[in-house]
Amino acid sequence: MSNATPPYRFLIDRSSARVRELFPSRRVRSLEDVGLPENASDAAIVKKAWEQECIIVAANGKDFLLAIERFQKKEMQNDCHDLFGLVILPNAYETQRRVIRGVQGKLRLGRENISWRDVWKNNLCVRLKKVGVPGVSLLARCRYCKAEDSERPMREKV
């Protein structure tokens, strides 16, 4: 069995470009790194994050939740189009910096502590707030997965 580092990565949206330095450098991709222009649409970012298996990091969470929903509804192929997680940040950089630095050990889904790897494996939405505990929830399943099962099994146990 290999002890290789898990392949999760973060794709940083332009709304949060300055936070790149707050994540491990080997795990961060900018829009430019993945071949997208600075003015790429949220839909294009969602598609690229799915292709590259990245957690999306953005301050405009509502827009990305809608783009993810549209992506999953539009894709009618017979394979999974679940994504790999979304991190929603507050708007101001100083607040983003403070909450990202303070999030270690505070991510929980139900009663279980989770890691960024768990967010990636299980397509979780993490909402980092100006104050208080981060909100963690499951993102919606794609149409293919909804048809396959009526309950949401995790990709792996968190």
Query: What's the confidence (pLDDT) of residue 158?
Result: 37
Residue 44's pLDDT is what?
97
Would you state the pLDDT for residue 104?
Answer: 79
Burial 65-103 (b: 16+ CB within 10 A, else e): bebbeebbeeeeeeebbbbbbbbbbbeeeebbebbbeeb
pTM of the predicted model as reported, rounded to 2 decimal places: 0.86
Per-residue pLDDT of the chain in tens (158 residues, 90 and over written 9): 445 555 899 999 998 889 999 988 899 999 999 999 999 999 999 999 999 999 999 999 999 999 998 888 775 566 778 899 999 999 999 999 999 988 878 899 988 999 999 999 989 999 999 888 899 998 887 777 665 554 444 554 33
Confirm if 87 and 119 have CB atoms less than 8 A apart: yes
Using the 8-state DSSP alphabet, how is residue 124 labeled?
E
Q: Are 137 and 124 spatial neighbours (Cβ–Cβ below 8 Å)?
A: yes
What pLDDT score does 43 carry? 95
* pLDDT for residue 140: 82
Residues 6+ apart with CB under 8 A from 150: none
SS3 99: helix
Rounded-to-integer distance, Cα 106 and Cα 108, Å: 6
Q: Identify the pLDDT of residue 63.
A: 94
